[in-house]
């Protein structure tokens, strides 16, 4: 008798390219005192030790709460789901719209809001 094999779903990579990582960090320079750390294939972003964002799969995600969720939803952005094939697992981080990412001034404002949300816990 042949054994039945269940196929495991392929997980999407959270790997971040060095060029995208450098670009995001340069765009966030005006936020001040940002550090980045590799984590689970992605990159965690910290402002004075407070985790407020992440880069995964060459997408920037920032912390969202009541104070800034409407900005992301109005732009049609969705929450970070690291492994959607596992179900659930939504986090309080939303993808940043490309037009915001490309504007250092606008990204700085969004990142400062995300940092404030993260500090409030």
d(CA 27, CA 9): 35
**Joined tokens for residue 69:** 């969720």
Could you tell me which CATH number the domain at 18-120 has? 3.30.1460.30
pLDDT at 62: 97
pLDDT digits (tens, 9 = 90+) for 87-116: 554 569 999 999 999 999 999 999 999 999
Domain ranges of the chain: 18-120
pLDDT digits (tens, 9 = 90+) for 12-37: 567 899 999 999 999 999 999 999 99
pLDDT at 24: 97
What does pLDDT average to over the chain? 87
């Amino acid at each position: 008798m042949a054994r039945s094999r269940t196929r495991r779903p392929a997980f999407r990579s959270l790997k971040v390219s060095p060029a995208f990582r450098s670009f995001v960090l340069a765009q966030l320079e005006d936020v001040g005192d940002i550090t980045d750390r590799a984590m689970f294939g992605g990159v965690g972003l910290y402002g004075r030790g407070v985790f407020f964002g992440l880069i995964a799969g060459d997408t920037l995600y920032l912390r969202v709460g009541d104070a800034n969720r409407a900005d992301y939803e109005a732009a049609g952005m969705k929450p970070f789901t690291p492994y959607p094939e596992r179900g659930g697992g939504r986090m309080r981080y939303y993808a940043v719209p490309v037009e915001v990412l490309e504007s250092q001034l606008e990204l700085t404002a969004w990142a400062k809001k995300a940092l404030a949300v993260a500090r409030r816990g």
